[in-house]
Amino acid sequence: MGTHNTRTQKNGLMATKHKKRNIPVDTLRGLACIMLVAYHVIGITPETGLRLHEGPLKQANELLAYIRMPLFTFLSGLVYAWRPLKGDWQSFLKGKIRRLIIPMLVTGTIFALFQAFTPGTNRQITEWYCLHLKPVAHFWFLEALFIIFILVVPLERYKILDTRQGFAIVWLISATAYIANIGTPWFSIAGAFYLFPYFLAGLYCTRFPLQLSHPKTAGYIAITAIAIFLIIYGHEYGGTRRSLNALIIGTIACISLLLTKTGITDTWLLFIAGTAAGITGPIIIEHLADKNKTTRTLLLGKG
Each residue of 98-119: pLDDT tens digit?
999 998 999 888 888 887 777 6
Strand partners, 131: 134
pLDDT value, residue 50? 57
pTM of the model: 0.75
Question: Average pLDDT in the 6-26 region?
Answer: 50
Q: Domain of residue 10: give its range.
A: 2-300
Is a pLDDT exceeding 90 seen at residue 9?
Answer: no
Report the C-alpha gap between 290 and 175 in whole angstroms: 38
Between the ranges 15-24, 84-93, 276-285, where is the mean pLDDT highest? 84-93
Is a pLDDT exceeding 70 seen at residue 3?
Answer: no
pLDDT value, residue 290? 76
Distance, first Cα to last Cα, the chain: 28
Do the Cβ atoms of 272 and 246 come closer than 8 Å?
no
Report the C-alpha gap between 238 and 66 in whole angstroms: 8
Angle between helix 140-157 and helix 102-117 axes, rounded to 10 deg: 160
Q: Is the dihedral of CA 182, 188, 189, 192 positive or negative?
A: positive
Please, which pLDDT band fits residue 275 given cuts at 50, 70 and 90? low
For residue 159, what are the CA distances in angstroms to 152, 193, 198, 268, 295?
10, 21, 19, 50, 37
How many structural domains is the chain composed of?
1
**Residue (of 138, 110, 105, 134) closest to 297 by Cα position:** 105
Report the C-alpha gap between 236 and 194 in whole angstroms: 21
Each residue of 185-209: pLDDT tens digit?
899 999 999 999 999 999 999 999 8
